[in-house]
Amino acid sequence: MNNGYVKLHRELMDKPIWRQSIPEHKALLITIMMMVNHAPEEWEWQGKKYRCDPGQTITSIDKLQQMAGKGVTTQNVRGALVRFEKLGFLTNVSTKTGRLITIVNWGEYQANNNVTNKDSNKEVTKNQQRGNKALTPNKNDKNDKNDKNINIPLELEEPLEAFMDMRKKIKAPMTDRAKEMLLKKLNELSDGDIKTSIKILDQSTMNGWKGIFPIKEKRPPQNQFLRMLEEQENEQERYT
């Protein structure tokens, strides 16, 4: 993987995945392109054979953070993967042997000169179909199921990923159905306002709550003298 090069086309700079990405996401974009295989790779683990095709890599959130360099956080990695998948740049599947990342249309831009783009794309398409089956010989694995395509605003991706990561840490991971219901409730609580939605998610994440709730405003501490006067007035009203 450390030998050779990857092709980086200038037209990338005109695409939303580059123009609308924060610097950390751009670093991860290039990092992933350099990490994926340029040739098929096979290995054996626990007596079973596995295969990783061109345009694919088996990695982890921590590994991507490390390879992307200083300043990139775990939250940046999770947010980038969600965004890149939404934009159709890659597919991201959690498997028993790691996280399988497949760059879509890898062969279109990275094919050798002696291989036509058409033939290369056909091979990459086959690789994606094979790779999206959780990279395991067991065809009945639960990871074979396709995730529902849930439309999530870009601004909510990182706060939502942080909330879901917190849920995993407290041993309460979310299903696709639970995620769909969460987003519906979030929209109701925030009246569709993105900034309020972010505050609601952050509130639950920081407090370790499984659910989401309206923003709890912090009341300023009441002056003790004023509180005593108020109590006296209430006491007098009770006897008048």
In the 3-class helix/strand/coil scheme, how is 90-159 assigned residue by residue?
A: EEEEEECCEEEEEECCHHHHHCCCCCCHHHHHHHHHHHHHHHCCCCCCCCCCHHHCCCCCCCCCHHHHHH
Same domain, 137 and 155: no
pTM for the predicted model, two decimal places = 0.52
Same domain, 158 and 122: no
- The rounded percent of the chain whose pLDDT value lies above 70 is 70
Amino acid at 229: L
* CA 109 – CA 115 distance, rounded (Å): 11
Same domain, 94 and 213: no
* CA 33 – CA 37 distance, rounded (Å): 9
pLDDT in tens, 170-216: 999 988 889 889 988 998 998 888 889 999 999 999 999 999 999 98
In a domain, 42, yes or no: yes
Which domain, by its residues, includes 18? 10-144
Counted domains in the chain = 2
* CA 24 – CA 69 distance, rounded (Å): 9
Same domain, 26 and 121: yes
pLDDT in tens, 93-135: 887 678 899 999 888 778 655 444 445 455 545 555 544 444 4
64, 31 contact by CB (below 8 A):
yes
In a domain, 161, yes or no: yes
In a domain, 2, yes or no: no
CA 171 to chain centre: 18
Residue that is last in its domain, among 144, 169, 191: 144
Same domain, 49 and 105: yes
Same domain, 41 and 157: no
Residue that is last in its domain, among 92, 112, 144: 144
Same domain, 99 and 139: yes
